Amino acid sequence: MGLQGLASEEIVSYEPATGAEVWRGKTGDVDEIVARTRRAWPAWAAQPLSTRMELVRRFANEVRKDAEKLATLIARETGKPMWEARTEVESVVNKVEISIRAFAERTGQRKLDSALQGTAALRHKPHGVMAVLGPYNFPAHLPNGHIVPALIAGNAIVFKPSEKTPATGEALVRCFHRAGISAEVVQLAIGGPDEGKALVAHDGIDGVLFTGSAHAGIAINRELAGNPGKILALEMGGNNPIVVWDTPKIQDAAVLIVQSAFTSAGQRCTAARRLIVKGALYDAVVSEVKRLADRLIVGAPFDEPAPFMGPVIDNDAADGLTESFLYLLGHGGKAIKHMARPVEDRPFLSPAIIDVTAMKERPDVELFGPLLQVIRVDDFDAAIAEANATRFGLSASLIGGNPQDYNRFWANVRAGVINWNRPTNGASSAAPFGGVGLSGNHRASAYYAADYCAYPVASAELDQPRASIAVGLREG
């Protein structure tokens, strides 16, 4: 059921797992919200950096106080298991100190004294009012990864959460306000695609920080193509490969594959969508992956025993994934593990695995759910070619192989996150995060978020004017 606008100005959020209503509220007036934020921004930017850092640390403390309540809300609104919702809240808290360190490292001040030439200085300025457009899969952690670095840098924020997770967005913003950050400096804009478009195009917005689908990101990029003065950071999806090469550790490989493909019900931008496996290992690897996938518990957030994965976000998403599985099956795919809907009228999906080696044309799309496509290859060059057979370029992993294989893989695979014997997902916030192609616009987030939250200003400075013209003057 997901989320529906029951009236032209009302948004309602429902629990994916049960259909129960979580939240309802009116859409915001974008013009009014942006105007208030613009008025508040100069005073926030004028605060000492130490004050802004202290306030975001207080925000982390507010989240800690509300940790269980916030995790429960995330679990209800997204359907993810409670254990995973708790890890998301931990990530929100941890982001603060990581962002403070990153700001100091990435945007540090520099001064170079040169006697008669004065001082050459480097400082950074905030952009102004930033629109943060958040996704539903990590409705607290991912927008927070934009908001905290932007606040530290001195920007004011208009945050539009996904229309599918407005309650979590509202709870996050309340934590900022309780920490002492003005309600005018961090504003919540409830709305759907129309409000998102209005924010992107608004003259009062100085930057757009977006996490979501490639389709929406491309539309934003097109809208701002004629406005280079507005900073744009796009964090989009992936059609991510996980390559299995020579390894005797089949069980470990299977665990890494299952973690990559099916954590968060496959609703991670870094989830493995394509398993590329050496022919000689195919039977052993695929049978072990299927055996493990058959054991995964799919259930509601608060079920006991705890499920490995919950539902996808809504019935529309579940229907689309089911149709995609049938499309692959009807165009040359061979089912290894069928996709099933175990609960009628609710968006629970069993993890699905399908061999698409024989497909003549494989759709290069991000199937955002628990659907893993398998491709058999015979040599390492073919594996790398298959890994690169996508317009996306977010994450990629090599399982097995030797250091020389990994060096070749790292050097030749197009992705912003490249791992060896680790999952494709679970990237650290203490490292840069981003991709190429349809996965991003070369503005990595996480540790590098400071780069798009402030711009460098170079200055040449003397305490008194001092100048002369040595050539080209008539005698006076």
The domain ranges of the chain are 3-236+440-460, 240-420
Cβ neighbors of 295 (< 8 A, separation 6 or more) are: none
Superfamily of domain 240-420: Aldehyde Dehydrogenase; Chain A, domain 2 (3.40.309.10)
Q: How many helices (H) and strands (E) does the chain have?
A: 14, 20
Establish whether 269 is a catalytic residue: yes
Q: What is the pLDDT at residue 115?
A: 66
What's the pLDDT tens digit per position in 182-193?
Answer: 999 999 999 999
The pairs formed by 329-336 with CB atoms below 8 angstroms and a separation of 24 or more are 329/354, 331/359, 331/360, 331/361, 332/356, 332/358, 332/359, 332/360, 333/358, 333/359, 333/373, 334/358, 336/286, 336/290, 336/374
**Which residues in the chain land under pLDDT 70?**
1-8, 115
Catalytic residue among 62, 77, 195, 269: 269
Cβ–Cβ under 8 Å, residues 102 and 451 = no
Catalytic residue among 77, 84, 163, 235: 235
Which DSSP letter does residue 307 get?
P
The full DSSP string for 11-71 is: EEEE-TTT--EEEEEEPP-HHHHHHHHHHHHHHHHHS-HHHHHHHHHHHHHHHHHTHHHHH
The matching CATH number, chosen from 3.30.56.10, 3.90.1150.10, 3.20.20.70, 3.40.605.10, for 3-236+440-460 is 3.40.605.10
Q: Give the E-state strand segments of 340-407 in sequence order.
A: 352-355, 371-377, 395-399
Instruction: Give the dihedral sign, CA 260/265/268/273.
Output: positive
Look-up: residue for tokens 């100190």?
A: 97
Q: For residues 364 and 391, give the distance between their C-alpha atoms in angstroms, rounded to a whole number.
A: 7
Q: Which amino acid is located at 9 in the chain?
A: E
The count of other CB atoms within 10 Å of the CB of residue 33 is 26
- Tell me the backbone φ, ψ of residue 390, rounded to 5 degrees: -160, 150
The candidate with the shortest Cα–Cα distance to 46, out of 188, 182, 146, is 182
Look-up: residue for tokens 């099956």?
A: 329
Q: What is the pLDDT at residue 114?
A: 75
Q: What is the pLDDT at residue 476?
A: 78
* CA-to-CA separations, 83 to 57, 77, 307, in angstroms, rounded: 24, 14, 9
Exposure of 193 in the CB half-sphere (CA atoms within 13 A): 9
Exposure of 291 in the CB half-sphere (CA atoms within 13 A): 12
The full DSSP string for 218-261 is: HHHHHHTTT-TTSEEEEE----EEEEE-S-S-HHHHHHHHHHHH
Q: pTM of the predicted model, to two decimals? A: 0.95
Q: What is the pLDDT at residue 112?
A: 84
Establish whether 453 is a catalytic residue: no
Q: Which amino acid is located at 463 in the chain?
A: D
Instruction: Give the dihedral sign, CA 343/344/345/347.
Output: positive
Instruction: Give the dihedral sign, CA 19/22/25/29.
Output: negative
Q: SS3 for 445? A: strand
The count of other CB atoms within 10 Å of the CB of residue 210 is 26
Q: For residues 307 and 413, give the distance between their C-alpha atoms in angstroms, rounded to a whole number.
A: 34
- Tell me the backbone φ, ψ of residue 102, rounded to 5 degrees: -65, -40
- Pair type for strands 10-14 and 21-26: antiparallel
Q: SS3 for 439? A: helix
What residues pair up with 11 in beta bridges, in sequence order?
25
